[in-house]
Structure 1
Amino acid sequence: MLKQDRERWMNAQGEIVSLRGVNLGNWLMLEMWMLDSGDNPVGEGIEDQCTFEAKLEERFGTDEKARLMDVYRDNFITTRDWDIMQEAGFNLIRLPFPYQLIEDANNPMTLRDDAWQYLDYAIEEAKSRNMWVVLDLHGAAGAQGWEHHSGCAGKNEYWDGPNAADNQARTRWLWQQIAERYKDEPAIAGYGVLNEPWGTDAETLAANVTELYTAIREVDTSHVVILPGHNSGIDAYGDPEDAGMNNVAFEMHFYPGIFGWGEIGYDVHRDWLTCGQNGTTGVCEWDARIRELDTPFLIGEIQPWAGLGELGGPITRATFDRYNELSWAGTAWSYKVLSTNGGQGNGTWGYVTNKGERLLAKATTWSCDDWDSTLAEACETPAKIVTPTDTDQTFYLIVKSGALGGQHDVQFDNLQLTAQSSGENILTNSAFDTDAGWTEWSGTNTSPQDDNLSVELGFANGDENVLRLSATDGFSNGGVYQAVELKGGESYLLSGTFADVNSSDMWAEIYLLPAPPVNGEDISAAAMTKIDLNNDSKETIEAYFAGMSTVEYEINQGVYEALVSDEPADIFNFPDAPEALTLENTDAGMSLVWMGVSDATYNVYRTTSSGSNYQLLAEGLESEMYLDDTTTEGVTYYYMVTADNGEESYASNEVATEIFYAAIPGRIEAEHFSGQSGFEVEDTQDEGGGQNLGYTDAGDTLTYNVSVAEAGEYTLSLRVASSGGSEGIAFTMNGNSIGSIAVADTGDWQNWSTISLTVTLEAGDQELQLTALGGAWNLNWMEFTTN
């Protein structure tokens, strides 16, 4: 049995235990997205555990609902899953469950007849493999938060409403039943009393969890009780020992690169695990808190491989190693995620998923905006060798793209589907030199000519002809396809390139399917059937549940190899950051000089907004100097430099050119901002050329340093373009409102018009901010003239 020893997890032999494992999400506690990432995974209106079970009960009755839930649970996790987890070296299983698994939901404070069926099973399977189990109450009576993963989306009646006191009493009772049954069970690592209980403030949470601790201790004095952190942290608890609590641990969930925490990639994990530029942030900041409180730490949910491709394995291993080095326990979310398309792609949220080889390549603007890459480097599903059929068959290679309504422009070139035994490319017109060989298809309309998607075969892009799929407004979805003759047992590799040209809310995918697409119908690479609990027969639903035990798995092989390796991950061996970066304005341009770093080359970055939106200016430099001769007069530029030895260092100090204040009266180019959020820069087709800002959403901001010559009334003219019109723009000067203006529909994103309003300004150096009241407008310049 594990116990607390200061900030460490200790076993009965007095040894520090390194705990690393996974969550068994979607087994006992359901989350619909883990069955399919598309819309309405199991039917319209079914969004959580409550609506899932309610629909089964509504259609088939209470007893049949219970039986079907057993079929689901008996097949979602089986002996093969326990063996796979053991083989990966996991020794800790976090087991999410809902209260109604134990308590009869219709008879409060009454155990179900089969209350212990699945917890007992999980504990025995884990115990036989020398694993520990954290019992995680993922959904308490009434739901402890508004999110779907608390069981009932939007409810939060554990904290609010007339039944809150009863729901909290039922939860204390529930934990006492659990503690009574398992108080002598050494395979229990701890009791996770509430998962993500964020429907209240931190102080109320701490007081409630203290009551749960007290209730458990009336029955069980041996097991670790896990104190859940608030989304604001753990400070509200204070020192557990001062509150009379012993043998406890804290829990938080850390997701670098996800949920607004930076972007998925090397940098965000490096900064987190190696404690940032100054060595005091990231895990070091949390380690200091935990050591001060002398309390163990469980990172109950982590996701260190999703979207990382080849980096997924090393970063997963480095994460577990680093946490264990700090005496932290960690469990990844999640062991298993299914989808109709199947396959690991660039790393799904599941350590295992169902096998799928019909989606050959995919990228989206949500995963990697403005990509321009080979299909082998596709940011969401890279192309790989597939063996689609055991018999000679006609299949269809389908190129598909769409957008939710934003700008849409994606371009494909040099597509080849190559037989691996012969090296033969079996596609016709792979280079899109003409419009031959491909058939246009619409996923939205019965006639491609009537939909919103523009298909251009042989579109001229510089010296190349490409396939261009584009739309300017509204939902779009479709593409082109051609028939291909596949040999049974033959393996094929898709290759080529594709590029996102300043799109938003857009996807691009290539499929290999045994049937041609039908106009007016979407396609999927369904490697697993989909169900609709609203309409499918009981027999169909039961077959779907039962089939989960036999579906062929695809394990994240890179993560597996990293976990079982005898050697730690070879990652985060980056060089020191360059020091003493200086900047001099010379006749030839901006001259940058810095101190050298051993065995490294250098990358130079530039922005016009201090501390953000840095763009790579030069890479692979071998000398400690760089001349930037591409600057524009009247713009403030900021620079930083990194060292690179195959991994990139932290950044040097930031240096800047002279701070430029745009003169008022005068014209200000839109792209000469000192700060911005949400906008993108693109080449303009307006008279005079240059660049404009676009891809505007409500709430986006632009900031400019300005110097107003004299106080008075001015006409502010703006050069704008819009497809559809917009509520427009609000203006402030030093935080004070000076006016707003709507933007009319100009007919297209590059049809330009000048609009104006009158503003009153104070004299002096000031900060001008533009805030988008609505999206759908582009800005080329603005001009102030004295009235």
Structure 2
Amino acid sequence: MKIKTNITTIKNGKLSQLLLASCLAVTITGCSLDEDSDADKHNGETVYDFAPPTPKAGEEQYSLLHQDKEHWVNAEGEVVSLRGVNLGNWLMMEMWMLDNSDNPVGEGIVDQCTLEATLTERFGEAEKERLLDVYRDNYITDRDWDIMADAGFNLIRVPFPYDMLEDENNPMTLREDAWHYLDYAVEQASARNMWVVLDLHGAAGRQGWEHHSGCAGLNQYWDGDEVEANQERTRWLWQQIADHYQGNPAIAGYGVLNEPWGTDAETLAANVKTLYDAIREVDQEHIVILPGHNSGIDAYGDPQDNGMQNVAFEMHFYPGIFGWGEIGYNVHRDWLTCGQTGTTGVCEWRDRINALNTPFLIGEMQPWTGLGELGGPVTRATFDTYNELGWAVTAWSYKVLTTNGGQGNGTWGYVTNKGERLLAKASTWTCDGWNTTLDNACETPATIVTPTDEDAAYYLIVKTGTLDEGLEVTFDNLALTALDSEENILANGGFDTPGDWIEWSATSSSPEDDSLNVEVGVAVEEENILRISAPAGGLANGGVYQKVELTGGTSYRLSGTFTDINSTNAWAEIYLLPAPPINGEEVSAAAMAQIDLNTASKEEIEAYFSSMGTVDYEVNEWVKSALTSAEDADIFQFPSAPEQLSIDVTDEGVSLVWLPVDDATYNVYRTTSSGTDYMLLTKDLDAEMYLDSTTAEGVTYYYVVSADNGEESYFSNEVATEVFLAEIPGRIEAEHFSAQTGFQVEDTLDEGGGQNVGYTDAGDTLTYNVDVKQEGEYVVSFRVSSSGGTEGFAVLLGGVQIATVAVADTGDWQNWKTITATMTLAAGENTLTLKAIGGAWNFNWMEFAAN
């Protein structure tokens, strides 16, 4: 992969092992691997300056892990490539992972605290606990551990809440069943040579306002009257965990606080030191994981300088999500290949981590959602890159359930419940008067489906209807074909006879009582077909079905044709469901039962929770195939960016010219907002020139060009039809840059409205063309915001640095403050550049006033 050539990592390969073996073979005469590693310089101990051996991922020996500089190392001294997933929504629940609809389990139930409160209020404390046990016993079972092992995962991060261990009503007292589920996780992992990160996802009082800490809006680990008590309880809890698991080789590390963002970075670092000290009183062997703030890890400094040994840092990286670009190839390419400058993305973090000689855990990331087939190679490249850097990584998350099921273009779950039960659909609202094959259906085209892992009876249902107008729809040549045998398992799919199909009504208790006229095997010209019709007036809805026997694990393809004949407000659908339709009831593609915990009976809730253990799974096969392949992912082998893009505005339009790139075609983009919102004008261009004749007078246009060899390069330099020249003294709006790298423009909530720039990383730049009217000293006001504070930026005039400006914590990304700096400017036209020294700041405007 090209990605490997862009990242310099410390690799020992076989060389250091051979050197070590050579040393052992010549101990009689002595051996020196490095003149600086003699015993005199290390208090009598010989230290060899080479990396420990790094077996191929998955071939490391399974034993207790510890820190060796920036490496995760086992007891045999091998660097271990840790790659895995989170068991989100098992012991610590997040409602969206039970369904992607509004109010997935009932109105007002937004997190684990409101879920438990609802069950307690309705059924009492003991019954609430029993129902939660039913859920936990079924959400993750032995089959899940086998699936994770089959994917090659060897690291499982287990999020849990404090009150699963501590008796909430008796602080600093363990529950009688405290260790039941964590012990189960450790035992299952150990049996499969997997390591476990114990992740305290919800501490006493909760460590942030987000719902995933267990109680949305609660931040009493950091604020309020109970702070001291909650923090003491957390230190106590970690001592109990450390005592229980000390010496256990299955534990990779203790994740002391998940996303503890309810405070500033300095307070977090100081508090985590107390948790570290508490653990070390009991357990000196296991790695303690130091959680990053949303502003980074800088507040910790060098852990060794602060007396912390055998530790690792943790951050969560989500390219393409949460405002970090958009889901797609480009955002992952930029992150994993260090950006266009080769110094951003993972390379910036590589340098930071290596300078601290501390291991790194990417505790959460999501490289496959929404990417479809591309999600496989992107996921493999992400795991491989992190492991090459020596980082451990666990994706969020192993399992997500949805109402309709299926992976689609990739859900957040490596597995989800099977879906794709609506096989094909057309409606007059989407395409009036259709006459087509099912694989060209205008609303839901027929695709290949794998309905069940076990042999099972299903029902193919043909349904059509109208709201209040006339209906006539025909079907013919239906087939449900097993791909492995090419056998069509449907009977009479050509409707040559009246048999094999059962009529049903979705509106009446008997088909004879509804307004539908269902004709199986009716002759039309030279064909026999299925025709379903209804007169105008009133709702009509129903059709026919037949039972089919499916083979577990087999994929099937639906084919056939359907035609709409002058229907109005009508639909035609084909379903594959595990139960036959019931007269008088609508059918649904829902693959997972829905429930309202506010009103459902205990029996219904127990059945719903129990179903989690038996629901058919759909694994993201794109990801599984990529992760288990013997070959590296064939991705990020993109060409060089086109160079020296130039522009010429003529009477015919805007002419663009650039230098050629070998073995590539070109894509041309245009925007009216420099550096963002590029619109593709043309693709696969095979010439190094382009004429844009679609411009409008009085509009400034910005252009970039990319090269494409099947993968797209970085953009060329940006050129513009007209450049805004800002006068100094005066105010310059942030979005009026003439060039930029790395920033994004967004609507601002600052007074006056408009836009600001943000999503800042170190190394990002903003360049403005300015006209300084008079040489002299200026007071410059910068309108900025930051959640956590940052080193800020350098100011360059004509490429020469003239000032640096730090940005303090303003409390939030849209909580704006004005800061000032004094600098001297030379007169005349020039370029003024802001270059980010640190990330995590937003910028709205700057104003220059003569001092």
Q: Give the TM-score normalised by the residue count of structure 2.
A: 0.64
Aligned residues: 595
Q: Does 1:562 align with 2:626?
A: yes
Q: CA-to-partner distance for each residue in 1:358-383, whole Å, 9 max, x for gaps?
A: 24589xxxxxxxxxxx99899x9985
Q: Which aligned pairs between 1:366-385 and structure 2 lie closer than 5 A?
A: 384-385=447-448
Return the offset for 1:391. Answer: 6.2
Q: Which aligned pairs between 1:103-142 and structure 2 lie closer than 5 A?
A: 103-142=166-205
Aligned residue number for residue 95 of structure 2: 32
Q: Which aligned pairs between 1:199-598 and structure 2 lie closer than 5 A?
A: 199-360=262-423, 384-386=447-449, 390=457, 394-396=461-463, 419=479, 421=481, 483=543, 488=548, 491-493=556-558, 512=575, 525-598=589-662
Distance (whole Å) between structure 1 residues aligned to residue 423 and residue 753 of structure 2:
37
SS across alignment from 1:241: helix
Q: Does 1:13 align with 2:76?
A: yes
Return the offset for 1:386. Answer: 3.8
Aligned residue number for residue 614 of structure 1: 678
**Are the aligned partners of 1:227 and 1:248 in contact in 2 as well (CA < 8 Å)?**
yes
AA partner of residue 131 (structure 1): M
Distance (whole Å) between structure 2 residues aligned to residue 32 and residue 427 of structure 1:
45
Q: Alpha carbons of 1:386 and 1:566: their partners in 2 closer, same or farther (altered >3 Å)? A: closer
AA partner of residue 569 (structure 1): A
From the CA coordinates, give the structure whose radius of gyration is larger.
2
SS across alignment from 2:274: helix
RMSD: 4.0
Return the offset for 1:50. Answer: 1.2
Aligned residue number for residue 664 of structure 2: 600
Unaligned runs of 5+ in 1: 363-373, 401-413, 429-438, 442-478, 497-507, 662-671, 680-697, 706-764, 766-787
AA partner of residue 117 (structure 2): A
**Are the aligned partners of 1:397 and 1:512 in contact in 2 as well (CA < 8 Å)?**
no
**Are the aligned partners of 2:460 and 2:574 in contact in 1 as well (CA < 8 Å)?**
no
**Are the aligned partners of 1:318 and 1:569 in contact in 2 as well (CA < 8 Å)?**
yes
Aligned residue number for residue 689 of structure 1: none
Aligned residue number for residue 644 of structure 1: 708
Q: Which moved more, 1:171-180 or 1:339-348?
A: 339-348
Q: Which moved more, 1:419-428 or 1:220-229?
A: 419-428
Q: Alpha carbons of 1:77 and 1:637: their partners in 2 closer, same or farther (altered >3 Å)? A: same
Distance (whole Å) between structure 2 residues aligned to residue 644 and residue 174 of structure 1:
55
Percent of aligned positions with the same letter in both sequences? Answer: 69
Q: Which aligned pairs between 1:71-86 and structure 2 lie closer than 5 A?
A: 71-86=134-149
Q: Alpha carbons of 1:241 and 1:554: their partners in 2 closer, same or farther (altered >3 Å)? A: same
Distance (whole Å) between structure 2 residues aligned to residue 22 and residue 596 of structure 1:
43
**Are the aligned partners of 1:95 and 1:134 in contact in 2 as well (CA < 8 Å)?**
yes
Return the offset for 1:114. Answer: 0.8
AA partner of residue 576 (structure 1): S
**Are the aligned partners of 1:608 and 1:673 in contact in 2 as well (CA < 8 Å)?**
no
**Are the aligned partners of 2:461 and 2:575 in contact in 1 as well (CA < 8 Å)?**
no
Return the offset for 1:188. Answer: 0.4
Q: Alpha carbons of 1:517 and 1:642: their partners in 2 closer, same or farther (altered >3 Å)? A: farther
Return the offset for 1:494. Answer: 7.8
Q: Alpha carbons of 1:640 and 1:358: their partners in 2 closer, same or farther (altered >3 Å)? A: same
Return the offset for 1:41. Answer: 1.4
Q: Which moved more, 1:625-634 or 1:640-649?
A: 625-634
Q: Alpha carbons of 1:579 and 1:105: their partners in 2 closer, same or farther (altered >3 Å)? A: same
Distance (whole Å) between structure 1 residues aligned to residue 302 and residue 398 of structure 2:
33
Q: Alpha carbons of 1:570 and 1:482: their partners in 2 closer, same or farther (altered >3 Å)? A: farther
Q: Alpha carbons of 1:2 and 1:375: their partners in 2 closer, same or farther (altered >3 Å)? A: farther
SS across alignment from 1:242: helix
Distance (whole Å) between structure 2 residues aligned to residue 92 and residue 216 of structure 1:
22
Q: CA-to-partner distance for each residue in 1:27-61, whole Å, 9 max, x for gaps?
A: 11111111111121112211111121222222222
**Are the aligned partners of 1:416 and 1:494 in contact in 2 as well (CA < 8 Å)?**
no
**Are the aligned partners of 2:489 and 2:549 in contact in 1 as well (CA < 8 Å)?**
no
Q: Does 1:196 align with 2:263?
A: no
Distance (whole Å) between structure 2 residues aligned to residue 216 and residue 590 of structure 1:
66
Q: CA-to-partner distance for each residue in 1:642-696, whole Å, 9 max, x for gaps?
A: 00000000001111113479xxxxxxxxxx99999789xxxxxxxxxxxxxxxxx
Return the offset for 1:423. Answer: 14
Q: Alpha carbons of 1:480 and 1:575: their partners in 2 closer, same or farther (altered >3 Å)? A: farther
Return the offset for 1:271. Answer: 0.6
AA partner of residue 597 (structure 2): L
Q: CA-to-partner distance for each residue in 1:261-302, whole Å, 9 max, x for gaps?
A: 111111111111011111111111111111111111000001
Q: Alpha carbons of 1:645 and 1:481: their partners in 2 closer, same or farther (altered >3 Å)? A: farther
One of 183, 186, 206 as aligned partner of 1:143: 206
**Are the aligned partners of 2:199 and 2:255 in contact in 1 as well (CA < 8 Å)?**
yes
Return the offset for 1:630. Answer: 2.0
Distance (whole Å) between structure 2 residues aligned to residue 203 and residue 304 of structure 1:
30
Return the offset for 1:209. Answer: 0.6
Aligned residue number for residue 623 of structure 1: 687
One of 686, 690, 696 as aligned partner of 1:632: 696
Q: Which aligned pairs between 1:145-160 and structure 2 lie closer than 5 A?
A: 145-160=208-223
Aligned residue number for residue 710 of structure 1: none
Distance (whole Å) between structure 1 residues aligned to residue 186 and residue 755 of structure 2:
53
Aligned residue number for residue 171 of structure 1: 234
Q: Alpha carbons of 1:382 and 1:266: their partners in 2 closer, same or farther (altered >3 Å)? A: farther
Q: CA-to-partner distance for each residue in 1:163-202, whole Å, 9 max, x for gaps?
A: 1110000000000000011111111000000000111111
Q: Alpha carbons of 1:700 and 1:341: their partners in 2 closer, same or farther (altered >3 Å)? A: farther
Q: CA-to-partner distance for each residue in 1:437-483, whole Å, 9 max, x for gaps?
A: xx999xxxxxxxxxxxxxxxxxxxxxxxxxxxxxxxxxxxxx99884
Distance (whole Å) between structure 2 residues aligned to residue 249 and residue 399 of structure 1:
62
Return the offset for 1:541. Answer: 1.1
**Are the aligned partners of 2:260 and 2:291 in contact in 1 as well (CA < 8 Å)?**
yes
Distance (whole Å) between structure 2 residues aligned to residue 320 and residue 396 of structure 1:
45
AA partner of residue 698 (structure 2): G
Aligned residue number for residue 47 of structure 2: none
Aligned residue number for residue 246 of structure 2: 183
Return the offset for 1:492. Answer: 4.8
Q: Alpha carbons of 1:650 and 1:377: their partners in 2 closer, same or farther (altered >3 Å)? A: farther
Return the offset for 1:585. Answer: 2.3
